[in-house]
């Protein structure tokens, strides 16, 4: 139900129409027309929302001194049925209100202030009461746009209007579906693989008493390694920021190879389940140790490499984002399947450190960077560069609007880190669910839903703040707190924290029991019986704690047993 509710909210936000402080100026001649982005303040005067409802006017460039003059010269200063353009210039006793009042007193229909640089600003009145004096709209245009408009010729007609635009377009719904779907599939696959490895480990331990190197490697992730990893990410981000024009091509090449590998792994797993095309071909031993591979695997490999090469060639085309998203989704699913975290402790440390990293490079770096820009946003969007890093899901606006010319880009982005980092946590939750046999895979389902809700909160913050958001600020608390609360209610927090399970639940049986001997201690403090009656003993079996990824440690599970025979039990050693 929460999943459906989240999706409905995303749809509602997607189609909510808003009017902002941007408008479109259409300049047209008999042969061509161009749209330009302008800013305006609605309190001066409303603008129509449809081009067909916007009146056409000839335009005239007027010196600022004329607009600031109160002298009435009907011959030289009459702007009847014309849109007045004037260069911005600060003059004493000449406010925006003065210019609007003087322009409309000379029959101007619109007033457009042309800034002396390529920056837009909002022209506001000195006091709220001044807006009541205006009967014409006031807009602001950049210098370069005005010069482009002048190149159309002096007989161009201009129109001002505010086309409606979705505050959060349906492209965010597509991104939401891609991100949530990637995590759900990747985490599920990861849990299945982890469970298979765990069962194999149990069989190996039962027969040989040893665990595989792969399982032991999964256990060797320490907090120090997590800290070093996050520091490396910070240094790498700074390297990309300062050497972007060189590093970007290296990252493009690495992504092409890695995404082709991810696509092959995902598609080959599906191909192996198909009952046909089971013939094999000989290959060199360095490619496959067995010396032969399935023909369908070769076909899948060729297809994956072809898609990756195709993306490299057309990555800057209008449809390049489709290939990038396909490769990106399969790349993330492959990583989630192969990378696993061992415990809630490691997951929490990684998520919290990356949350701090996200906040610092999005919100803090603009305070001391040269252009007061966010390092993270500049790197993600490739600000000022032709090439863009491919490590993002990228979806253009599906509902088109003329007002998109006012945006620096007409597409939305979600970094792979905002999928992989929470995805590793969801993968751990699913592995724990399968190990502990929790009802309805409660941790996997809850963390997946929490991720979807957190992503919607991210989109809502994007809509409210009108700027790029560090998604982990919303995704980490929503996923982490959800799982912690559920684990506290189910009294499994310690098991999750250490990544082990005691099998203390009466319906759960241990996968491996290391011995059949019971070590019992006489419970003298709680024994109230007399000689010849039943006595209380605290007894225990030594079990293996089973880790989500196959490894564990010996622990003792205690229970109470009553007996009349004091000599039937031997005193146990301390809990190991």
Total number of residues shown for the chain? 576
Architecture of domain 24-161: 3-Layer(bba) Sandwich (3.50)
Tell me what pLDDT residue 337 has: 92
The number of C-alpha atoms within 13 Å of 374 and in the hemisphere containing its C-beta is: 16
Would you tell me the crossing angle of helices 223-242 and 244-271 to the nearest 10 degrees? 130
DSSP state of 513: B
Find the catalytic residue in 66, 325, 358, 433. Answer: 358
Environment class of 373 (CB within 10 Å of its CB; exposed 0-12, middle 13-18, buried 19+) = middle
DSSP-H helix ranges across 156-294: 170-208, 213-218, 223-242, 244-271
Q: Do residues 525 and 481 lie in contact, with contact meaning Cβ atoms separated by under 8 Å?
A: no
The number of C-alpha atoms within 13 Å of 242 and in the hemisphere containing its C-beta is: 7
Find the catalytic residue in 35, 418, 433, 495. Answer: 418
- Mean pLDDT, each 10-residue run in order, the chain (576 residues): 41 36 89 89 88 88 80 62 86 82 87 87 83 89 90 87 74 93 95 85 64 48 90 92 90 94 93 80 66 82 95 91 95 93 92 92 82 80 81 84 72 90 94 90 95 93 79 94 94 88 45 42 45 45 46 45 44 39
* Residue in this structure with the two tokens 């409309």, named with its chain if needed: 104
Tell me what pLDDT residue 526 has: 47
Q: Do residues 150 and 29 lie in contact, with contact meaning Cβ atoms separated by under 8 Å?
A: no
Residue 418 is among the residues annotated as catalytic for this protein: yes
Tell me what pLDDT residue 122 has: 83
Tell me what pLDDT residue 228 has: 94
- Name the region of 401 (left: φ>0; alpha: ψ -120 to 50; beta: rest): beta
Q: Which of 66, 183, 234 is nearest to 444 (CA)?
A: 183
Tell me what pLDDT residue 412 has: 83
Q: Which DSSP helix (H) or strand (E) runs through 181?
A: helix 170-208
Tell me what pLDDT residue 501 has: 65
Tell me what pLDDT residue 451 has: 97
Residue 358 is among the residues annotated as catalytic for this protein: yes
The domain locations on the chain are 24-161, 170-205+222-498
Tell me what pLDDT residue 69 has: 75
């Amino acid at each position: 139900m929460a999943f459906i509710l989240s999706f409905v909210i995303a749809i509602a936000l997607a189609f909510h129409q808003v009017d902002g402080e941007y408008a479109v100026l259409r300049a047209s001649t008999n042969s061509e027309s161009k749209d330009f982005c302008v800013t305006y303040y609605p309190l001066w005067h409303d603008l129509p929302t449809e081009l067909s409802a916007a009146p056409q006017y000839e335009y005239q460039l007027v010196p600022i001194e004329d607009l600031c003059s109160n002298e009435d010269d009907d011959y030289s200063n009459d702007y009847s049925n014309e849109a007045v353009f004037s260069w911005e210039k600060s003059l004493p006793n000449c406010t925006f209100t003065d210019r609007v009042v003087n322009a409309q007193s000379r029959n101007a229909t619109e007033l457009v202030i042309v800034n002396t640089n390529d920056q837009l600003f909002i022209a506001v009145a000195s006091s709220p009461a001044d807006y009541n004096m205006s009967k014409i709209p006031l807009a602001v245009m950049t210098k370069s746009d005005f010069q482009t408009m002048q190149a159309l010729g002096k007989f161009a007609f201009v129109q001002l209007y505010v086309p409606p635009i979705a505050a959060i377009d349906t492209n965010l719904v597509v991104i939401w579906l891609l991100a949530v779907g990637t995590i759900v599939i990747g985490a599920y696959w990861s849990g299945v693989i982890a469970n298979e490895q765990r069962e194999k480990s149990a069989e190996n331990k039962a027969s040989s008493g040893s665990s595989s190197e792969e399982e032991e490697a999964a256990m060797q992730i320490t907090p120090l390694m997590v800290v070093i990893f996050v520091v490396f990410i910070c240094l790498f981000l700074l390297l990309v920021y300062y050497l972007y024009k060189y590093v970007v091509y290296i990252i493009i090449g690495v992504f092409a190879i890695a995404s082709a590998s991810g696509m092959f792994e995902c598609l080959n797993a599906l191909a192996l389940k198909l009952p046909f095309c089971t013939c094999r071909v000989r290959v060199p031993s360095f490619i496959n140790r067995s010396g032969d591979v399935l023909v369908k695997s070769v076909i899948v490999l060729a297809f994956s490499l072809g898609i990756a090469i195709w993306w490299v060639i057309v990555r800057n085309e209008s449809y390049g984002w489709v290939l990038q998203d396909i490769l990106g989704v399969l790349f993330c699913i492959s990583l989630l399947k192969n990378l696993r975290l061992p415990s809630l402790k490691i997951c929490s440390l990684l998520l919290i450190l990356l949350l701090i990293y996200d906040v610092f490079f999005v919100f803090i770096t603009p305070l001391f960077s040269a252009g007061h820009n966010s390092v993270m946003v500049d790197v993600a969007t490739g600000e000022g560069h032709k090439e863009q890093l491919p490590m993002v899901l990228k979806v253009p606006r599906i509902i088109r609007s003329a007002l998109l010319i006012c945006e620096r880009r007409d597409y939305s982005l979600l970094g792979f880190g905002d999928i992989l980092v929470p995805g590793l946590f969801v993968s751990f939750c699913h592995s724990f669910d399968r190990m502990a046999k929790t009802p309805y895979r409660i941790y996997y389902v809850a963390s997946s839903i929490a991720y979807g809700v957190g992503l919607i909160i991210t989109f809502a913050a994007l809509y409210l703040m009108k700027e790029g958001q560090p998604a982990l600020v919303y995704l980490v608390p929503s996923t982490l707190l959800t799982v912690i609360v559920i684990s506290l209610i189910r009294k499994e927090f310690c098991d999750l924290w250490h990544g082990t399970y005691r099998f203390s639940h009466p319906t759960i049986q241990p996968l491996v029991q290391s011995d059949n001997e019971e070590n019992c201690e006489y419970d003298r403090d709680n024994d109230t019986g007399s000689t010849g009656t039943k006595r209380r003993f605290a007894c225990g079996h030594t079990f293996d704690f089973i880790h989500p990824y196959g490894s564990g440690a010996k622990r003792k599970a205690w229970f109470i047993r009553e007996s009349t025979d004091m000599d039937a039990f031997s005193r146990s050693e301390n809990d190991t």
